[in-house]
Each structure stands twice: as structure tokens, then as C-alpha cells.
Structure 1
Amino acid sequence: MDWIAEIDTAAGRIADHAQRTPVMHSAVLWDRPVALKLEQMQHTGSFKARGAFNTLLSQPVPAGGVVAASGGNHGAAVAYAAMRTGHKAQIFVPEMAGPAKIALIERTGAGLTVVPGQYANALEAAQEYEARTGAMQVHAYDAPATVAGQGTCLREWEAQGLDADTVLIAVGGGGLIAGAMAWLQGRRKVVAVEPETSQALHTALAQGAPVDVEVSGVAANALGARRIGRICFELAQDWLGASVVVPDQAITAAQRALWQSHRILVEPAGACALAALTSGAYVPEPDERVAVLVCGGNIAPDPLG
């Protein structure tokens, strides 16, 4: 697949629908300056709106509407994109999505079903709904339209003057980092960062193939895919620079640092990539310029109710 062309096309397609999120530099989060892309300021609080809009705008949507399974952020993005484009949406989330993300989805007017268990259980329910109704499945991470949409984030960041050798990106199912690898194709080093308790990509790389992993921890409702996406795994064979894991306490420490230093309020997943730097899980070379993608801001509980 010509990923560059796909991402260029996606960028044009979603230009009037997705936010152009800001970037900044911090000299206080770590022992040297670090660039940040504030994707938690995207519609519905995460990068997921990019892939959702690209999917809905790139193909005919059937009369049955769209269906999505999600830990919360993807579901909110699909529900929002469906609302904005005039389509019916049914979203399935696991109980671990939490009240803040559930409320976010409900505000879009989409149908919502809360499923016992984890993301994999919600995906099974969504697939059953798809088979029963003919709705179009909008996969959270393992579909070309989703990956191309997420790739617009790095395309946009480079257009905003990204000055870094290395980009650190949190990984759940792999849609965001797949889009980054598909766009960058080795021009910059891409580092995957996962929680120790939910490391689908790290485990797949060690095993030589995607495998099921156990999922838990503070970021599980956003980074809790049981198995890494096929597209991400295949792209990682060619373009991933490094893979590291971080403990939950490092994630929450990075979350606090973003708030205390810059009044940036993010969910644990949004701080996961930064945690690789602040915990020492990833140690750059002395002259290596580093950037961090801040991917989600749907903190629970909602600080303003």
C-alpha cells in the first residue's frame, strides 16, 4: 500500500472536520527540552477523531449506520463523527471504559451498550451487531482507513515544524503508532511506549507474531488491546525504532508532571509516552532531540463533572 498517498488523501478529506492541534516545547518536564503535540485537544479528547472521520468520509455508509467497539476514546470519536456526518451510530464499550468516557459517548446521542469484561468482549458484541444489522464496522486500530486517518497527526506535526530525531508514542492496539510509522517510514525514530500491564506490541515483537496478552492497569481503558493490530505489527517490522514498557507509577507521575508544570490535564494513556522519558525507560543519546505525542485527555472522573 502507498501509505504516503493514503495519508495525504486522508488529510485533505478530514481537513474541515478534525482539529489542527497545537504543539509546544517544554524545558521543565525532563532534563532537556522536549517537543509536545497536544492531541488531547482533538475533538472528543483524543486523536481518534482523525481515523473516525476518514473512515466515514471515505466510503458509503449503509442504512444500518456504523458500529464500533472501544475502550472509550474510539467510541466517542466514532459517535461524534457519525453525529457530524448525519449517520446512526451504535457503540459498544467494556465496563472499564468508566463513567467519564461513557458520558462523553452519551452526549453525542449515539446508541450505547456497556459490555461486561474488556475491550475484546466489546468487540465481539460489536461484530455480532454488525452481522445482525448490516452496520459498517469502524475498527479502532486495525483497518487501513483508521491507520491513514491517524497518520495525519504526524503529517500535521511535521507541517508545524517538528524538530526532533525521535518521536515517542503510546501504544494500545497500534493505530496511532501505525499511522506514524506509515507516514515517517524511517525518517525519524519512532519509539513505542506501553504500560507494563498492557504490552501487546512489546510481547508480539518478542514472540515474533501478535499474541493475546493480559490487560490491566491505570491506562487499560485506552491502551488495553488484548492483541496488537496486524497492520501495526507489519509496519513495526520495517519502521519501529524501539519498544519500551513503563510501570503504572511512572505513568501517573508523568500525568502529574504535565499538570503541575503546564496545567495540561490528561488521562493516564495521554501521559504514557512521556513516562518513558521521565522514568528512564527510554534513554536518548546526548544530542538526540525528542518529541512526545500527548494522545488523550479524557480523565476519569471528569474534573468538572
Structure 2
Amino acid sequence: MQWQDDIKAAEARITGHIVETPVLRSAAFGRDIALKLEQMQHTGSFKCRGAFNTLLAADVPEAGVVAASGGNHGAAVAFAASQLGHRARIFVPEIAGPAKIGLIQRTGAELTVVPGEYANALELAEREASESGAMQIHAYDAPLTVSGQGTVMSEWERQGLDADTVLIAVGGGGLIAGALAWLGGRRKVVAVEPMTSCALHAALEAGAPVDVAVSGEAANALGARRIGRICFDLAKDGGVESVRVPDGAIIEAQKALWHAHRQLVEPAGSTALAALMSGAYVPAPGERVAVLVCGGNIAPEPEIALR
């Protein structure tokens, strides 16, 4: 029950700072489903919820904040810090891509692009926080981050979510952890990961968080080398079903969202839908399904969107 209280407090805290994102019902993907369009959030992803919750709840030092990110978390922290008057230093891996790097630069944050992947950016961010006295905001494995992300699900239920099962893409696990924390087993939650970036799937198989190799179309958003401990514990206790999808299915779902509803999302944003479209997750007869669309930070590329 503590998690639900924390998420309620987070929702009260961040109201007025974040967008209440719309919900769409669609029969365009082979069955009637509900979609939560969280890519329409500030900075193009759900990450602003955790960023604002953390900054509003904490006593931010004069040195400001530091964050490591595949891109979306960094943009969210940079945006929230700029809105609240704090200095921000963001570290992202070179695979973050031009759309996310440009988004962070436009906030006025100090940006460092790091060779390698998210884990390399995190190492430098931790060093910077230690040396400068700045507060580090973890992308997914921190209680204030998780409770902030949990407001996606509390908001969706308040909007009338009518589903037995919710499909959620997983990187480091902050979003699905927040959903699990809020739902407390009241709905089935399916974790969807790319075949080549599947830290939660590997952890559930191993019985503990383990390091995994990271690559693929969605690696700049779902490319955590190791699942967060908070997510792992909630997923294990909640009996989460874990499925994986290939890059080809992710791109097909990305295109389908554009063709059906003119929603241009990044690969991570279409990953949960890919599980339905590819058959990686097959609902039971009569099962009501909802899909969380989590990110839209992609440079508009007609060759992807319009084919």
C-alpha cells in the first residue's frame, strides 16, 4: 500500500507540470485495444513524470542535478530542471541519436555525449555527482522516479481504463515498475522487450538481475545493461509475463501507428504494440488489452514513416 500512497503523492506533486496524455481506442491492429499516448508528454516521453516528482520532492543542492540517460530521461531531467530553475548536467551515449541530443541541447542543459552505451554514460554521471556535489537522478532505479512513472497508470485508470491486460515496453524498468506498484496485481501486466536488449527477461530467467548485451533499433531507449532492482522485485513478486520481439516487428508496429493514426513514435514507443502485432503475445478469447505507447523522440524520416 505504501507504493500507492507514494504514487498518489507524486500525482498531486506534479499536477500542473506535466501533460495529462490522451487515450485512444483502435481496431486498426487486428483487435480492439486501448492505447495511452504518452509520447505526447513534455519532451516526448513519460520520463518527465519521474523527473518532476524527484526535483519537487528533493532538496536540490546549489550544484544542481546530474543524470545519465539513453536520451529520454536526460531530456526530461533537463526540461524539469530548466522549468524549476536548477542547473543540469546530462550524460548520454553516442547511440542516443540526433533527435534526443538536439532536444537536450535546446533545454540549455550542459550535455556530454559519451562513447559507448548507457552504462558508460552512467559511470561518468556518477563520477560527476561525486566530485561536484550535484544530486544524481537515476533513470529508473530510484523510488521517486518509480512513483513518478506510476502516475501514468493512476492517470489512465482515472481516464476509464477498461482492460484485463496492459502491455508495457521495458528498458531499465522504471515505467513498468511504476505500473506494477500502482496496480498491485489488479490487472495483468506483460513486459515487452527487444530480442537484443532484454535485461528483465534475462533477470527473471536467472533469478536475479544480470548484465546483458545491448543492441538493436530501440537500444537508445530500452538499452539498459541490467534491470533495476526495484523493477525486478516487483516483477518477480507480481508474476509478470515477459515476451520479446525482434527489431523487424518493432519497425512494423512503428509504421502501423503512423499509417493508422498518424502517430510518429520512436522504436521503443512501438515495442509494446509489436508484441500484439507479431504474435509474441496472444490474448485469450475475450481478453481486453491495453498498450502503453511510451516515447516519440525520433527525427521525422519519411522513408520510415510513409512506406
Residue 2 of structure 1: aligned partner: 2
Q: What does residue range 105-124 of structure 1 map to in structure 2 within 5 Å?
A: 105-124=104-123
Counterpart position of 2:305: none
| 2:222 match | 223
SS at match of 2:11: helix
Judge conservation of contact 1:71–1:94 (CA < 8 Å) in 2.
yes
Contact kept, 8 Å, 1:51 with 1:150, in 2: the verdict is yes
Aligned residue in 2 for 1:92: 91
Tell me, in whole angstroms, the C-alpha distance in 1 between the residues paired with 2:236 and 2:71.
Answer: 29
Separation of aligned partners in 1, 2:299 and 2:216: 14
Cα deviation for residue 238 of structure 1 reads 1.6
2:44 corresponds to which residue? 45
Question: Could you list the per-position Cα deviations for residues 232-263 of structure 1 after superposition, in whole angstroms to 9, with x for gaps in the alignment?
Answer: 00001122431000000000000000000110
Equivalent positions of 1:142-161 (< 5 A) are 142-161=141-160
Distance in 2 (CA, whole Å) between partners of 1:117 and 1:157 is 36
Amino acid at match of 1:112: L
Instruction: Tell me the alpha carbon deviations over residues 1-41 of structure 1, each in whole angstroms, 9 at most, x when there is no partner.
Output: 71000000000000010110000100112x21010000000
AA of the residue aligned to 1:17? H
The 5 Å alignment of 1:50-69 reads 50-69=49-68
CA distance in 2, matches of 1:238, 1:156: 23
Alignment partner of 1:249: what SS?
A: helix
Q: For residues 215 and 124 of structure 1, what CA distance do their matches in structure 2 show? A: 16
In structure 2, give the amino acid aligned to 1:22: P
Letter in 1 for 2:183: L
Q: Distance in 2 between matches of 1:185 and 1:246?
A: 26
Structure-1 separation of matches of 2:212 and 2:299: 24
Q: How does 1:16-35 map to 2 (within 5 A)?
A: 16-29=16-29, 31-35=30-34
Question: In structure 2, how many angstroms separate the alpha carbons of the residues matched to 1:116 and 1:292?
Answer: 33
Q: CA deviation at 1:203?
A: 0.3
* Counterpart residue number, 1:292: 291
Write the distance in 2 (CA, Å) between the matches of 1:149 and 1:135. 21
Instruction: Indicate how the Cα distance of structure 1 residues 199 and 97 shifts in structure 2: closer, same or farther if over 3 A, else same.
Output: same
Contact kept, 8 Å, 2:264 with 2:300, in 1: the verdict is no
Residues in 2 aligned to 1:185 and 1:284: alpha-carbon distance in whole angstroms: 21
Structure 1 gaps of 5+ residues are: none
Structure 2 vs 1, CA of residues 238 and 290 (structure 1 numbering), >3 Å: closer, same or farther? same
Q: Secondary structure at the match of 1:291?
A: strand
Deviation digits for residues 32-71 of structure 1 (CA, Å, limit 9, x no counterpart)? 1010000000000000000000000001000110000000
Counterpart-to-counterpart distance in 2, 1:204 and 1:259: 33
Report runs of 4+ in structure 1 exceeding 6 Å deviation: none
SS of the equivalent of 2:16 reads coil
1:250 paired residue number? 249
Q: Is the 8 A contact 1:192 1:240 kept in 2?
A: no
Give me the whole-angstrom Cα distance separating, in 2, the residues matched to 1:172 and 1:302.
24
* Aligned residue identity for 2:181: A
Q: Counterpart of 2:265 in 1: which secondary structure?
A: coil
Whether the 8 Å CA contact 1:175–1:232 is kept in 2: the answer is yes
Work out the CA distance in 1 between the residues paired with 2:65 and 2:238. Answer: 32
Q: Provide the C-alpha distance between the structure 2 equivalents of 1:37 and 1:163, rounded to a whole number of angstroms.
A: 12
Tell me the TM-score normalized by structure 1.
0.98
The aligned counterpart of 2:198 is 199
Q: Could you tell me whether the CA contact under 8 Å between 1:100 and 1:302 is conserved in 2?
A: no
Matches within 5 A, 1:167-246: 167-246=166-245
Identity of aligned residues (%): 73
C-alpha RMSD of matched pairs (Å): 0.9
For residues 260 and 240 of structure 1, the distance between their equivalents in structure 2, rounded to whole angstroms, comes to 35
Give the letter aligned to residue 158 of structure 2.
A
Provide the residue aligned with 2:269 in structure 1: 270
SS of alignment partner, residue 224 of structure 2? coil
Amino acid at match of 1:19: V
Secondary structure class of the residue paired with 2:140: coil
